[in-house]
Amino acid sequence: MTKFEQLGGLKAKKLAELQQTEKSLAEVEEKIKGAVLNGDEKKKAALIAERERLRKAIEQLQGEIPVIESEQAKYELEHLEEKIKELEKERQAVEKQAQPEISKLKAKVEKLEQAYKAALAELGRKQAEVERKTNSIDQQIATFRQRLDELMPEKEPKHSVEEYLQMYRDGKGPALFNEDKNAEQAYRLYEREREEILAWVHQAQTLKMRTGGLPPKPECMKFYSKDRLETIIYNATLRKDLARLVKNF
């Protein structure tokens, strides 16, 4: 224990005495009031004497504490230096005690890192090997498929171009061609007719605004029902007034 700490202990002791003495003085003051009220002069005189003793004791303690604090301040620098030295030694001891375990764990980590790198390299080699083999297989599959396509007979269309075209006009044409050339050709014709119908709608809208009449309808429109024409126009324009233009036919 440093001199600073010793004086700190003495100061704490004096402060405790001061606190207790002040408490005792407060109790005596209360007792004096009681003696006065009871008319007990003898007890009052004894209490007054005790009060004086306590007051002197408090005064003495209040004078001693600053002296202790002043003396303690002289040793604070030495105390701090000593504490720092103690803590540095404690720190060194902690490091020294943990060093064997830390060294062991570091060695374990290094070993695991080496194993990880080796596993990563092996993984790369294996993946490359698999990729080379699968690429070779894919090439063979592509060759066989190409030859298979050459040998496969052409599929006969299920319907003629005209039949497919009417199916698209009715909104019932196939969504997928499935290598059916007739269906593919019919769909192109249907798209062309659809463009003619929408172009007529644009002309009809303009002419109706100017004259109230309608232009001649395209020839292809006779192959469509009015409901189907309304659906085509509404899906393209999202306008019911334009879709209703075909009601006049």
Rounded CA-CA distance 55/34 in Å is: 19
Task: List all residues 6 or more positions away from 36 whose beta carbon is below 8 Å from its beta carbon.
Answer: 44
Nearest in space to 182 (alpha carbons), one of 154, 202, 209, 151: 154
What is residue 212's predicted lDDT score, i.e. its pLDDT?
79
pLDDT of the residue at 149: 67
| pLDDT of the residue at 21 | 95
Report DSSP letters for the chain, one per residue: --HHHHHHHHHHHHHHHHHHHHHHHHHHHHHHHHHHHHT-HHHHHHHHHHHHHHHHHHHHHHHHHHHHHHHHHHTHHHHHHHHHHHHHHHHHHHHHHHHHHHHHHHHHHHHHHHHHHHHHHHHHHHHHHHHHHHHHHHHHHHHHHHHHHHHSPPPPPSS-HHHHHHHHHTT---S--TT-HHHHHHHHHHHHHHHHHHHHHHHHHHHHHHTS--PPPPGGGGGS-HHHHHHHHHHHH--HHHHGGGGG-
What confidence score (pLDDT) does residue 249 get?
63
Three-state DSSP class for residue 186:
helix
pLDDT of residue 131: 86
Predicted pLDDT of residue 247: 80
pLDDT of the chain along its 249 residues, tens only?
889 999 999 999 999 999 999 999 999 999 999 999 999 899 999 999 999 999 999 999 999 999 999 999 999 899 998 889 999 999 999 999 999 999 999 999 999 999 999 998 888 898 888 989 988 998 998 888 788 767 766 678 889 999 999 999 999 999 888 888 999 999 999 999 999 999 999 999 888 878 878 899 999 999 999 999 999 999 999 999 889 988 866
On whether the pTM is more than 0.75, the answer is no
Q: Residue 77 corresponds to which amino acid?
A: L
